[in-house]
């Protein structure tokens, strides 16, 4: 075997050991299958890290791959990399209630409008790529698909109080969103309060412990 192949083999072995390293623990099995239609512990884990690391009030995150699963037990670097595969920078933006609302309206374009009980599909808008559908944490809100695009978000609240348009809000988003991509132009140009490279796998440990205890039926 040549020196090059020997060196490559050693690097691959070190990489495999790193990817197999346990960094967290899931108390229950977790899945992203329904992350775009219901509250999901995997997205809660991402949001929890974003809020904690950015010291923000509200965070935005998306389910990149609905096939991602995390079995009960030890969670490895490889599994976390599948959950959040992009090496984005985490930003804390100095935003407003209006910015949060407009971002949620943009996200809601992922769904088509419907009538009545909205029991007839399809309800997914094929013109909106799935990973451009973000959910927000730190606020509560409702999406009414019976209303036209741009006016679907209702009952938007922060700390149980209605979120006013000009209320200042610290918002955690990734660099892709902060740049205005995916239709999130409301974030572009906002003042950046903090930027942090997403190399914080260890931070998932307490989050997975918490979500694992509370999310079995989510």
Instruction: Give the model confidence (pLDDT) of 101-157 as tens digits.
Output: 999 999 999 999 999 988 888 999 999 999 999 999 999 999 999 999 999 999 999
DSSP for 137-184, written as a single string: ESEEEEE-TTSPTTS-EEEEEETTEE--TT-EEEEEEEHHHHTTGGG-
Per-residue pLDDT averaged across 161-175, rounded?
Answer: 96
Q: Quick one: which H or E segment has residue 107?
A: helix 97-107
All domains in the chain, ordered by first residue: 22-214 (3.90.780.10)
Task: State the chain's mean pLDDT as an integer.
Answer: 87
Q: For residue 203, what pLDDT is reported?
A: 54
Going by the DSSP 8-state scheme, the letter that residue 57 receives in this structure is S
Please give the distance of CA 9 from its chain centroid, rounded to a whole number. 35
Count of CB atoms situated within 10 Å of the CB of 7: 11
* pTM of structure: 0.84
């Amino acid at each position: 075997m040549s020196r090059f192949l020997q060196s490559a083999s050693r690097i691959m072995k070190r990489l495999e050991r790193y990817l197999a390293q346990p960094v967290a623990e899931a108390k229950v099995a977790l899945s992203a299958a329904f992350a775009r239609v219901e509250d999901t512990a995997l997205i809660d884990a991402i949001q929890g890290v974003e809020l904690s690391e950015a010291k923000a009030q509200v965070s935005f995150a998306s389910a990149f791959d609905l096939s991602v699963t995390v079995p009960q037990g030890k969670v490895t670097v490889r599994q976390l990399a599948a959950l959040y595969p992009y090496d984005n920078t985490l930003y804390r933006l100095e935003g407003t209630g209006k910015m949060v609302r407009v971002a949620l309206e943009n996200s809601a374009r992922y769904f088509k409008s419907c009538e009545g009980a909205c029991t007839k599909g399809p309800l997914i808008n094929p013109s909106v790529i799935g990973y451009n559908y973000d959910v927000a944490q730190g606020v509560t809100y409702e999406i009414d698909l019976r209303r036209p695009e741009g006016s679907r978000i209702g009952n938007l609240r922060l700390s149980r109080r209605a979120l006013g348009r000009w209320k200042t809000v610290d918002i955690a988003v990734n660099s892709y969103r902060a740049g205005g991509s995916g239709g999130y132009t409301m974030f572009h140009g906002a003042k950046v309060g903090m930027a942090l490279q997403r190399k914080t796998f260890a931070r998932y440990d307490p989050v997975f412990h918490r979500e694992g205890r509370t999310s079995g039926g989510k």
